[in-house]
Amino acid sequence: MPRLWRARCRLLLTALGVLGVLQALLAIMVSLSVATTLEGNRALVGLLLATTLGLGVAQWIQKVVAEDLGQHYVHEVRRELVGAALVPGNATSLGVTVTRASNDLTAVRNWVTLGIVSIATGVPLIATVLAALFVHDFRTGIAVAVPLLMCVSVLPVVARWTLIRARELRKKRGRMAARIADSVMAGELLHATGAIDRELNAVTRESDRVVIAAVRRSWATGFSRALMAMAASLGTVSIVISGHLEVSEVAGIMMLLGVLATPVAELGRVVEYRQNYKAATRILIPLLQKGSEFKHSQQKLPGLQATEGIPGVYVKGISALPGERIYLHGSADATRKWVASLSAMEEGADAIVNGQRLSQLPLKQRRALIGIASAHHHLSRGSVSRLVGLRVPDATEEEIEQALEQVGLNNTGKQRLKNGGQPWSTSQINKLKIASATLRTPPLLVIEGITPENLHNYPGVIISTVQENPSKTWRQVNI
- CB count, 10 Å around CB of 66? 24
Instruction: Label the pairing between strands 461-464 and 325-329.
Output: parallel
For residues 233 and 84, membership in a common domain is answered with yes
Q: Which residues pair with 329 in a beta bridge?
A: 478
For residues 242 and 325, membership in a common domain is answered with no
**Alpha helix segments (H runs only) across 39-186:** 45-85, 94-99, 105-110, 117-136, 138-185
Q: Which secondary-structure segment (H or E) carries 357? A: strand 356-357
For residues 69 and 185, membership in a common domain is answered with yes
Q: Are 436 and 385 in contact (CB under 8 A)?
A: no
Q: Which domain holds residue 378?
A: 313-478
Last residue of a domain, one of 267, 300, 333: 300
The number of domains in the chain is: 2
Q: Does 307 map to a domain? A: no
Which of these, 450, 479, 477, 443, lies nearest to 327 by C-alpha position?
477
* C-alpha to C-alpha distance for 128 and 125, rounded to whole angstroms: 5
* C-alpha to C-alpha distance for 454 and 460, rounded to whole angstroms: 14
Instruction: Label the pairing between strands 356-357 and 370-374.
Output: unpaired
Last residue of a domain, one of 275, 300, 325: 300
Q: Are 85 and 99 in contact (CB under 8 A)?
A: no
For residues 337 and 417, membership in a common domain is answered with yes
Give the residues of the chain that fall short of pLDDT 50. Answer: none
For residues 271 and 318, membership in a common domain is answered with no
Q: What Cα–Cα distance (Å) separates residue 38 from each residue in 44, 48, 50, 77?
A: 10, 12, 17, 52
For residues 273 and 354, membership in a common domain is answered with no
Q: Which secondary-structure segment (H or E) carries 445? A: strand 444-448
* C-alpha to C-alpha distance for 236 and 229, rounded to whole angstroms: 11
For residues 291 and 428, membership in a common domain is answered with no
Which of these, 147, 155, 267, lies nearest to 220 by C-alpha position?
155
Q: Does 308 map to a domain? A: no
CATH number for the domain that contains residue 369: 3.40.50.300
Q: Does 1 map to a domain? A: no
Q: Are 273 and 252 in contact (CB under 8 A)?
A: no
Q: Output the pLDDT for position 40.
A: 64
* C-alpha to C-alpha distance for 452 and 455, rounded to whole angstroms: 6
Last residue of a domain, one of 300, 323, 344: 300
Three-class SS of residue 101?
helix
CATH number for the domain that contains residue 228: 1.20.1560.10
Q: What is the DSSP letter of 44?
A: G
For residues 296 and 318, membership in a common domain is answered with no
Exposure class string for 377-401: b at 16+ Cβ within 10 A, else e: bebeeeebbebbbebbeebeeeebb
For residues 147 and 292, membership in a common domain is answered with yes
For residues 218 and 347, membership in a common domain is answered with no
Which of these, 430, 432, 425, 427, lies nearest to 388 by C-alpha position?
432
* C-alpha to C-alpha distance for 63 and 443, rounded to whole angstroms: 56
The predicted model scores a pTM of 0.74
Q: What Cα–Cα distance (Å) separates residue 358 from each residue in 150, 335, 430?
A: 64, 20, 25
